[in-house]
Structure 1
Amino acid sequence: MRGSGEIASEAEVRHGLSVTLPRLWRYGFVLSRQRDWADDLVQQTCLRALERHGQFQPGSRIDHWLFTILNSVWLNEVRARRVRFGQGTVEAETSLEVDGAREAEAKVLAGQVMRLVGDLPEAQRAAVFLAYVEGLTYREVAAVLGVPVGTVMSRLAAARAKLADRMSDGAAK
């Protein structure tokens, strides 16, 4: 067993990337709302993770480390590109895969929810995705986003309130 001061090998980071890749892509898509941009974000995240594999601390959660890297890459890209939302987006229904007997109904409902979530401000969208899709705790979301836990709680509360208002107003129809 390693001591706490040891660093991860490149092979460990490669393995972590391989098992986390679909989740990274989903997070990249939630942030960017564009398939091509999500691909670029994941590629840059992989490159940065491999270049900095020595910064990963064995015994900690590699998915959290990778989400943090992706978030950092996203913020750098936003600053660099001055993102224009709404260009080249993909409809939520085309990005969802739902199985089961009630596939059509579930797909429509999921599409409606994804559209509503997609309309949230970026900070709320990221918090909603990490907490409710990825299942991270508030503390973990705060670490990934680099904000206090209270900020995460505020963003999630505001997002829930906006979603509830829109659902009750029939915006999901």
Structure 2
Amino acid sequence: SPRLSPVEPALRDQMLGQLPHLRAFALSLTNNPTWADDLVQDTILRAWANMARFERGTNLSAWLFTILRNLFYSAYRKRRHEVRDPEGVYVGCLAVLPEQESALTFADLRRALVQLPPEQREAVLLVGAEGRSYEDAANLCGVAVGTIKSRVNRARTQLAMLLQMKDRHDLDPDRQILAALQMPGVKVL
């Protein structure tokens, strides 16, 4: 285990303040609470160990999300040959929030999100669930703004199809996605 040097308290507090957002993003990418927690922990450890490389005054959140995203894609490439819950046993165990506003259940939305290609899922979650601008999401993903807009549009269209909606505009994806990703009673680390 690498030896971690102290970090100034204000920066440490900013990092800790990002934990819920990092976990929500990791959980949405992985759909696996254990893997999500591991990603967040690895992200914080990697950021802490490389704090000398962080340029003070720049966007700490973007830096942390980039680290998490890179860790996810590295692990995803290794895991993509694993069997993925084909019978939906794991998905059926996911928490569903009460008081749904429509016939769409959050479990349905979670199942649909998992079926999206990772790049589309990432884009729609950054813009929809995290509330990031297209520009910010494009910077985090290292692609053009038009690419992010296209991925979000394709993701929303695919979600509407998977959820058997007549039109993607029948879906309020940002609010539904955000609500579906919030799991009550789950600790960040």
Partner residue of 1:104? Answer: 99
Q: TM-score, normalised by structure 1?
A: 0.77
CA 138–109 in structure 1, closer or farther in 2 if over 3 Å, else same: same
Name the counterpart of 1:137.
Answer: 133
Of 49, 54, 68, the residue aligned with 2:66 is 68
Structure with greater proportional helix content? 1
Contact 1:120/1:159 (8 A) holds in 2: yes
1 CA distance for matches of 2:12 and 2:145?
30
Are 2:108 and 2:163, in contact at CA under 8 Å, matched by a contact in 1?
A: no
The structural deviation recorded for 1:39 is 1.1
Q: Deviations over 1:2-43 (max 9, x none)?
A: xxxxxxx54344212211111111111111111111111111
What runs of 5+ residues in structure 2 fail to find an aligned partner? 1-6, 167-189
User: Quick check: 1:156 aligned with 2:152?
Assistant: yes
Q: Percent identity?
A: 33
Counting matched residue pairs gives 158
Matched, 1:113 2:109: yes
Between 1:81-90 and 1:114-123, the stretch displaced more is: 81-90
Residue 89 of structure 1: how far off its partner (Å): 7.7
List gaps (5 residues or longer) in structure 1.
1-8
Q: Which residue in 1 is equivalent to 2:12?
A: 14
Distance change (3 Å), C-alpha of 1:140 and 1:93: farther
**What's the CA shift for 1:90?**
4.4
Equivalence for 1:94: 94
1:109 aligned partner, one-letter code: T
TM-score, normalization: structure 2? 0.71
Provide Cα deviations, 1:75-97, integer angstroms capped at 9, x if missing partner: 1212334453624984377345x
- Supply the distance in 1 between the matched residues of 2:28 and 2:123 (Cα, whole angstroms): 10
1:51 partner letter = A
Equivalent pair of 2:40/2:68 in contact (CA under 8 Å): yes
